[in-house]
Amino acid sequence: MQTLAAIDYTILIAFFAILAAIGFSLKRVASKSLENYFLGGRRLPWWLLGVSGMASFLDMTGTMIITSFIFMLGPRGLFIEFRGGAVLVLAVFLLWTGKWHHRSGCMTGAEWMTYRFGDGGGGKAARLLRAISEIVFMIMMLTYLIKGAGLFLSMFMPFSPALCAFIMVSVVTVYIMASGFYGVVFTDLFQSFVILAGVAVVVVMAVFKVTDSQSLAAVAAKVTQNADWLSSVPHWRTTMPAGYEAYRSLALFAIFYLVRNVLSGMGEGDDQRFFGARSERECGLLTFFWTWLMMFRWPMMIGFAVLGLYLADAMFPDQTVLAQAAALIKEHVPGVAKAQWAQVLAGIVNQPGNYPPDLIAGLETLLGGGALGDKLHLLSFEGAIDPERILPAVILKCMAPGVRGLLLVVFLAASLTTFASQINRATAFFTRDIYQGFLRPRARNAEYIRASWCFGAFAVAASMLMAHTVANINDIWGWIIMGLAGGRVIPMALRFYWWRLNGQGYAIGMAAVLAGAGIQRAAAPAMSELHQFLILVGVGFAGCIAGTYAFAPADRATLERFYRTTRPFGVWGPLRDTLPPEARAAMRREHRSDLLALPFTLAWQVSLFLLPMQLVIRTYDAFFATLGIFAAGLTGMYFLWYRKLPPADPAPPESTAQS
């Protein structure tokens, strides 16, 4: 098995040393208060928060899964990742939910619940269920990140995926627990420069590899059996390999994922970056910059996919041997489950003496003894090329020493930034909304910081255990986005757009979603993503309606304060009449511009991600058509959004929530 060179290990050690130095140097300023620890004191500039947002979304595991779909589909892989990887929720955050959350002056999305529902029984129930739901979601996101990190790192290290993941998460947990949100933001800034350097390397290599689009199309068709690999059009039906058949109806999935993400974005936006922004204007600017920076992810991923196609063609000129190799492993390791497949492959590569000699000999005959380890890691459970491991395989086989170390650091940086943000967010919900909100409301600040450390360690340990049960990263990602998060769409959205929803209704709806998602995962894990989403949306809606009409509305004074400061659109008739005519007219103008800007913003965002991919693979006709859509989207945004941004307000909002 090919491993890292001394220079690669040197780069890795230097990277971790810099991260640790940044984290511990910020420990003193971060620990002054909870606002400093979780929001950076609300003093960080919009461009720095935008960089941090990009880095937090550009994770190793997500990049692996998106690269796998681009490897299978070409630029059309973007449309599968409408489910989450294309971050379409940013369009709604940019236009209205980011500023709506900022106007509250709260610290977390759970604290926001008392601002919306009051500090009575309903508000407290909503705050508790919001915190619990977010913690569950964050733990599952950590599970997903850990699973991907293990698969990635075990390609380079002579350890099992579980041990590789444990080493990585131990390092990031220590430095982010010390420095809080300051550590998240400033390590994100450092790691963003590393990531952009890696993007440049991969894109240049891919561009020089593609001599012309037709030769690339021929290689892609041979490796993936997909004759439309160069196309940027989401066809109604497309070729998909074994294990991914559910995505054959590409256009249908793209439409479904688009609607799901817009609905989700309409109820979310309680990111710490919006609570911590210095003004409402900066909420919009940081999201605009955040989206521009996300663009760099896509040429890098199609670059890896292109290099992966040529690599797979060279390593497996006859792909029938893969099915034979998978059958041989299943014969000698009876009962192996898909969730343990990567663990078994790592065992065969690193400890071949623990397996029957006939198995090792048979694999060497089929795959070639000299490069058995490199080839075996690319073997999927279904007996084909594993697209989820194409990215690390390209780094391992196509990059020179030193460059390999740089790219390994790039993806460690991508994973660590996301992992750090998830830990910081989960601990904020636990410490602010459960520990301080319900258990120890009058404790000292030092106690709250220690509580966040303890909970962070618990969340990481729980996620490590759960990662061992996951079949693959696409499996867990689909359930997180379409099941667990999909079911939250209704409770999260109704709190903004329907005055009658009370805290009890929100809490019962969210509790029903959490219970339903858990039952579905345990009883029917193979359920399609579409059915997961529809069933759990129905469960959440029924719970919200039942809880709302079983209890009285929220306190009138609380509702009036919320409506006056947040100024949302939707069914707010009884509250709208309390505002003077001038205020109602200003709100109507704001809402009209926000809603009209949404299709332009979505068109700008999708075309922004497609354009660099089309350049890399030299599909120039498609590039110029997409460029026209991009220009139209950006023009609409200028007139409907940018020109209407309020002037900067250097003073952060005062908290209107009650602890």
> For the segment 366-385, what is each residue's pLDDT rounded down to a tens digit?
887 656 767 888 888 888 88
Q: How far is CA 279 from CA 46, 285, 320, 646, in A?
A: 9, 10, 59, 9
| The pLDDT of residue 549 is above 50 | yes
If one compares 138 and 615, the residue with the highest pLDDT of the two is: 615
What is the pLDDT, as a whole number, of residue 587? 94
* Residue 229 confidence class, pLDDT cut points 50, 70, 90: very high
Per-residue pLDDT tens digits for 231-287: 999 988 898 887 788 888 889 889 988 988 898 889 888 887 888 888 899 999 999
Q: Rounded to an integer, what distance in angstroms lies between the CA atom of residue 408 and that of residue 8?
A: 8
| The pLDDT of residue 33 is above 60 | no
Q: Rounded to an integer, what distance in angstroms lies between the CA atom of residue 92 and that of residue 597?
A: 10
Q: Rounded to an integer, what distance in angstroms lies between the CA atom of residue 235 and that of residue 92?
A: 26
Exposed/middle/buried for residue 319 (C-beta within 10 Å: 0-12, 13-18, 19+):
middle
| Short-list 459, 405, 419, 485, CA closest to 148 | 419
What is the pLDDT, as a whole number, of residue 548? 96
| The pLDDT of residue 613 is above 90 | yes
What is the pLDDT, as a whole number, of residue 31? 47
* Residue 145 confidence class, pLDDT cut points 50, 70, 90: confident
Average pLDDT over residues 318-338: 87
**Helix, strand, coil % in the chain, rounded to nearest 5:** 75, 0, 25
Q: Rounded to an integer, what distance in angstroms lies between the CA atom of residue 502 and that of residue 494?
A: 10
- Backbone φ and ψ of 380, nearest 5°: -85, 165
pLDDT mean across residues, the chain: 84
Per-residue pLDDT tens digits for 516-536: 999 998 898 888 888 898 999
Judge contact between 38 and 181, C-beta under 8 A: yes
What is the pLDDT, as a whole number, of residue 110? 76
Q: Rounded to an integer, what distance in angstroms lies between the CA atom of residue 504 and that of residue 275?
A: 25
Q: How far is CA 657 from CA 116, 497, 563, in A?
A: 8, 19, 14
* Residue 449 confidence class, pLDDT cut points 50, 70, 90: confident
Evaluate the CA torsion angle 98, 103, 107, 109 in order and state its sign.
Answer: negative
| The pLDDT of residue 547 is above 80 | yes
What is the pLDDT, as a whole number, of residue 23? 60
Q: Which residues contact 446 (CB under 8 A, 6 or more apart)?
A: 31
Q: Rounded to an integer, what distance in angstroms lies between the CA atom of residue 399 and that of residue 381?
A: 27
Judge contact between 422 and 138, C-beta under 8 A: yes
Q: Which parts of 409-540 are beta strand (E)?
A: none
Q: What does the radius of gyration of the chain's CA atoms come to, in whole angstroms?
A: 25
| Short-list 207, 254, 206, CA closest to 233 | 254
Q: Rounded to an integer, what distance in angstroms lies between the CA atom of residue 343 and that of residue 641?
A: 50
The CATH H-level (homologous superfamily) assignment of domain 6-313+401-644 is Sodium/glucose cotransporter (1.20.1730.10)
Q: Which residues contact 361 (CB under 8 A, 6 or more apart)?
A: none
Q: Rounded to an integer, what distance in angstroms lies between the CA atom of residue 434 and that of residue 452?
A: 11
Instruction: Give the number of other Cβ atoms within 10 Å of residue 394's Cβ.
Output: 26
| Short-list 97, 496, 515, 15, CA closest to 275 | 97
Scan for tokens 């940044």, then name that residue: 22
Average pLDDT over residues 396-411: 81
Judge contact between 537 and 487, C-beta under 8 A: yes
Per-residue pLDDT tens digits for 155-174: 777 777 778 777 777 766 66
| Short-list 394, 404, 349, CA closest to 371 | 349
* Residue 39 confidence class, pLDDT cut points 50, 70, 90: very low
| The pLDDT of residue 1 is above 50 | no
Q: Which of 64-78, 418-432, 637-651 has the lowest mean pLDDT?
A: 418-432
Delimit the domains of the chain by residue range: 6-313+401-644, 321-384
What is the pLDDT, as a whole number, of residue 52? 76
* Residue 604 confidence class, pLDDT cut points 50, 70, 90: very high
611-634 burial, b if ≥16 CB within 10 A, otherwise e? bbbbbbbbbeebbeebeebbeebb
If one compares 179 and 458, the residue with the highest pLDDT of the two is: 458
Judge contact between 474 and 65, C-beta under 8 A: yes
- Backbone φ and ψ of 379, nearest 5°: -85, 125
Q: Rounded to an integer, what distance in angstroms lies between the CA atom of residue 188 and that of residue 184?
A: 6
| The pLDDT of residue 188 is above 70 | no
Judge contact between 46 and 277, C-beta under 8 A: yes
Q: Which of 20-24, 133-137, 159-163 has the lowest mean pLDDT?
A: 20-24
Average pLDDT over residues 175-180: 52
Instruction: Give the number of other Cβ atoms within 10 Å of residue 350's Cβ.
Output: 15
Q: Rounded to an integer, what distance in angstroms lies between the CA atom of residue 405 and that of residue 8?
A: 4
- 645 Ramachandran zone, left/alpha/beta (phi>0; psi -120 to 50): beta
